[in-house]
Structure 1
Amino acid sequence: MDRHYAGRTHEIEGLPMTGDVLRRRSTGRTRPAGGLVRLAAHTDPVALIGITLSIALSVTLDLTNAASGVESLLAGLMGITISLLVDSLARAERRFHLRTLLDGPSWLVQSTPQLVSAVREAAERHPDTRIAARAQHRYEQFRIEAEQLAAGRIVRPGDDDEDLIEATRDCARRLDGLTNLAPRASGELSWWRSEIGRRYWEANLAALARGVRITRVFVYATLSDELTELVERQRRAGVRVGLLPLGALSPHLHVNLALWDGTSCWEARMSAHGEITENQFSVNRADVDRLTRVFDQCASVATFQD
């Protein structure tokens, strides 16, 4: 008996086994239900409500004998037709809205469908996994960054100085800066001694060589020898430097900032220990005006040696 069935197994090798057939049949039976779920998910809610009410009306008319069977059927079909027409109009409106959204630069039109398709595939092919969760997280982060860009801002982590350096290199006429030297664990002048500070000073020297006028105000807690040396070095290079004691201004003016040509600005978001945690570059007019007012208030009471 076993040999007989073993032989039969070899004879049908390559064909799907019984378990596979059953699974496929079972899957096939669930397809209509899955199709209904997808249909409901992609149909406008108003159309779904209209179809449901139309069917309910048709059944009610038929059961109460308020209309003949044909009349009840026609009333239901009419309601369903109107509901599907509403759904078709809603779909057309959404498609038109999407087309207008993609009416932009060629790189946006070409990459947006690929981006959406990749995120959707990650979420649908790997549901309830870290992949799907990560896809959602990155998409949300992209949305937040895109909204910041739409507002004219670039936000980077504290160790990323690209915008500060590049904007200084692009500066054509005027650079205004405010440096708050509040006491901190790493030392008041630690930023100027860091790699970022050295690169920024090199960009300042290049700007001075191009004829850019640089004005900088140092807000200090203690006028140390190290700070005096830094101030003198910048003055000798051509920077107009002002000094302002820490207690001479309101705490809301304790800001580290830079302004370029009155059209763009940079602001450092600080931690409780006085370390930069976030760099914000902006061309937003409200941001530029706000930081310009902060700088002007500090410069108006600072001491300059002109």
Structure 2
Amino acid sequence: MAGDVLRRRPRGRAGSAGGLARLLAHTDPVALIGIALSVSLSVTLDLTNAATGVESLLAGLMGITISLLVDSLARAERRFHLRTLLEGPPWLVQAVPSLVTAAREAVEAHPGSRVAEEARRRFERFRAETEQLRAGRIIRPGEDYEDLFAGLRGCVRSMDAVTHVVPRPRGELSWWRGDVGRGYWAANLRALERGVRITRVFVHAGISDELSELVETQRRAGVRVGLLRWGAVRPDLHVNLALWDATSAWEPTMSAHGEISLNQFSVNAGDLERLRGAFAACAREATYR
């Protein structure tokens, strides 16, 4: 029995120390400073005989009380702020606590390890991606064309597009001949059947037989096709793009070989204004068949 008591005592002291550490960690710094100053004031008044023992004690207690009141107000403000942050769709409110808890426990269970570092990196990546969503943008890898197809499916009035025909390792029109390009052209045909007006400007360095055949195929299907020689507009206007009903847009990031490395879907007002300007400049200079 005595052995059990002896074994429990260290755990009790450790628990008290841990509880004190957690208390200090969650106490507002202003309150901690106020408590320290209050204790110092009480001791100073007592040692210098500037006040009686009772008066110095009361002064210290008053300062501590005010400091704790400040801490209580700060805690209440934090709780109110957290409740405000968690207002929103049910899926968000339900997911955030478990998400934060899982990340915190990963860091606490494996401190200093690759797991803890990866948890931090993933949260940073999640924060950056969420900031893009906040700005009205969805960014996906180059092989993911989900938003390009979704934007065209949701289009009801018009689609304006600029497509650059550039040399590629697999051929300048390899994208259109591939699975994605063929599926995208099929989606164009369905949009035309719905009554969507499609205008596409091909920017080229020279008209090949292959390009002429593609242009003629799209023209016969009902697409208004324009041809624009490379260099006819400013370099900053040379962007691939698709605008749907002037309310959403797609813009890829291209590699040095003309391959798509990133897909960006946007409803951001600044992006839409920039892309509408780029399309208008290309459309003015293009020749139509």
User: What is the root-mean-square deviation in Å for CA atoms of aligned residues?
Assistant: 1.9
Compared CA separation, residues 183 and 249, structure 1 to 2 (3 A): farther
Give the unaligned 5+ runs of structure 2.
Answer: none
Matches within 5 A, 1:287-302: 287-302=271-286
The residue correspondences of 1:35-184 to structure 2 (distance < 5 A) are 35-184=19-168
Q: For residue 216 of structure 2, what is the aligned residue in structure 1?
A: 232
Q: Report deviation, 1:184.
A: 3.5
- For residues 39-81 of structure 1, the C-alpha deviation after alignment (integer angstroms, 9 at most, x for no partner) is 1211111111111111111111112111122211111111111
Question: Is 1:253–2:230 an aligned residue pair?
Answer: no
Q: Which moved more, 1:27-36 or 1:94-103?
A: 27-36
AA partner of residue 280 (structure 2): D
CA contact (8 A) 1:182 1:246 kept: no
Q: After alignment, is 284-293 or 108-117 more displaced?
A: 108-117
Mapped partners of 1:218, 1:24: distance in 2: 80
Give the superposition deviation at 1:20.
10
In structure 1, the gaps of 5 or more residues are: 1-18
CA deviation string 1:132-178 (max 9, x = no partner):
22222222222222221111111111110000011111111101110
Counterparts of residues 10-21 of structure 1 (less than 5 Å): none
Check 1:283–1:275 CA distance in 2 against 1; reply closer, same or farther (3 A cut): same
Encode CA deviations 1:194-218: one digit per residue, 9 max, x unaligned.
2221221111111011111000000
In the other structure, the counterpart of 1:303 is 287
Cα distance in 2 for partners of 1:63, 1:195 equals 87
TM-score normalised over the length of structure 1 = 0.89
Using a 3 Å threshold, how does the CA distance of structure 1 residues 20 and 174 change in structure 2: closer, same or farther?
Answer: farther
Return the index of the structure with the highest Cα Rg: 1
Secondary structure at the aligned position of 1:248 is classed as coil
In structure 2, give the amino acid aligned to 1:295: F
Q: Say whether 1:263 aligns with 2:247.
A: yes
Amino acid at match of 2:199: T
- Structure 1 residues 24 and 257 mapped into 2: Cα distance closer, same or farther (>3 Å)? farther
Structure-2 separation of matches of 1:204 and 1:223: 23
